[in-house]
Amino acid sequence: MRNKLGMILGLVLLITSLLTGCGAPNAANQPAAQNEEKAASVDKNNELTVTMLNVGQGDAILIKTAEQTVLIDTSDLDEQEKLRAELEKAKVKRIDKLILTHPHADHIGGVEGVVLKDYEVGEVYDNGMPSKSKIYLRYMKIIKQRNIPRHALTAGEVLNFGGGVSFKVLSPPKEVVEKGSKSTDNHDPNNESVVGKLIFGNFSMMFTGDAEQQAEKVMVDNFAGDLRSTLLKAGHHGSKTSSSAAFLRAVQPEGVLISCGAGNDYGHPHKQTMKKYQSLKLKIYETDLNGTIVVTSDGKSYKIKPERGDAQ
């Protein structure tokens, strides 16, 4: 009798244990689902926005992450009002990082009259090259007066833009900066441009300043495996001096964004360059045709939304 009772009790305990075990995953699934929802919310909040501002014949590109606002270049001296209007439209309150690719007026023209005048700037980065340009000299004077930290960027450095976004510097080489920083003579500003790859998860974008084929060759030789990017900011406003075949093969972009002014005196973008882009079947956007161009990404996919028109 005792053996029978023992067997019955054993069966009851076994059934109870099995039932409890079957219920355990359901109880555990609830917090897991909540965690997934939280993770999705974080991913959404960490959206990256890259805006090529419509500032005429010059460059000004705004990058917003979950944590920082970054501005690369400040357009031309005679396009300051366009820059001011674009920054206001983008609801910029503070610029955490200002990157000036090189000291040509169509890239640093708005640094004094707009950016340093209207906004608090956390820190500035440039190519470390001295210049006789009056705009550049005033820029240097102002940041020194305000104790704004300045850093000369060299190939291999990585900047943290927050929210999981990084910026890997690919040019100019360190030895070029060290040599060039000693004198204002014998400079090639375009080929000394700061070039960097913006990285956010599976999305990336190549920022080229006005780097020409000479600088592109050095990057292909030194960083061939790191150049591949989802999108390309056309070098030198789509000039024939940039976008070499070797560089385009290394970058393998899906689309290209060109900053240029309508009817500009330089004929940018040049027909030769456009044919290269078209032969690669790239989605092509131009500020002179499309206005302000906004790229958004969650680190997995991306969208390009022009102010008007569509890709060529």
pLDDT in tens, 140-173: 999 999 999 999 999 999 999 999 999 999 999 9
pLDDT in tens, 113-149: 999 999 999 999 999 999 999 999 999 999 999 999 9
Give residue limits of the domains in the chain.
47-306
Give the C-alpha separation, 19 to 235, whole Å.
Answer: 66
Pairing of the two strands 150-152 and 120-126: parallel
Is the bond into 269 cis (omega within 30 degrees of 0)? Answer: yes
pLDDT for 75 beyond 50: yes
pLDDT for 24 beyond 70: no
Backbone angles phi, psi at 150, to 5 degrees: -125, 140
* pLDDT the model gives residue 291: 97
Mean pLDDT of 214-238: 96
Average pLDDT, the chain: 88
Contact present, 250 and 224 (Cβ < 8 Å): yes
Mean pLDDT of 78-95: 97
**Homologous superfamily of 47-306:** Ribonuclease Z/Hydroxyacylglutathione hydrolase-like (3.60.15.10)
**Confidence at 3, pLDDT banded by 50, 70, 90:** very low
Give the C-alpha separation, 98 to 125, whole Å.
Answer: 6
Residues 6+ away with beta carbon under 8 Å from 3: none
Nearest to 53, CA basis, from 101, 86, 92, 81: 86
Mean pLDDT of 258-273: 95
Rounded to two decimals, what is the model's pTM? 0.85
Mean pLDDT of 278-292: 97
* pLDDT the model gives residue 2: 43
* pLDDT the model gives residue 181: 85
For residue 155, what are the CA distances in angstroms to 59, 219, 263, 282? 21, 9, 35, 27
The burial class, CB within 10 Å (0-12 / 13-18 / 19+), for 108 is buried
Give the C-alpha separation, 286 to 265, whole Å.
Answer: 16
* pLDDT the model gives residue 103: 96
Poorest-pLDDT segment among 6-10, 66-70, 160-164, 244-248 = 6-10
pLDDT for 32 beyond 60: no
Mean pLDDT of 261-277: 95
**Confidence at 183, pLDDT banded by 50, 70, 90:** confident
How many C-beta neighbours within 10 Å does residue 50 have? 27
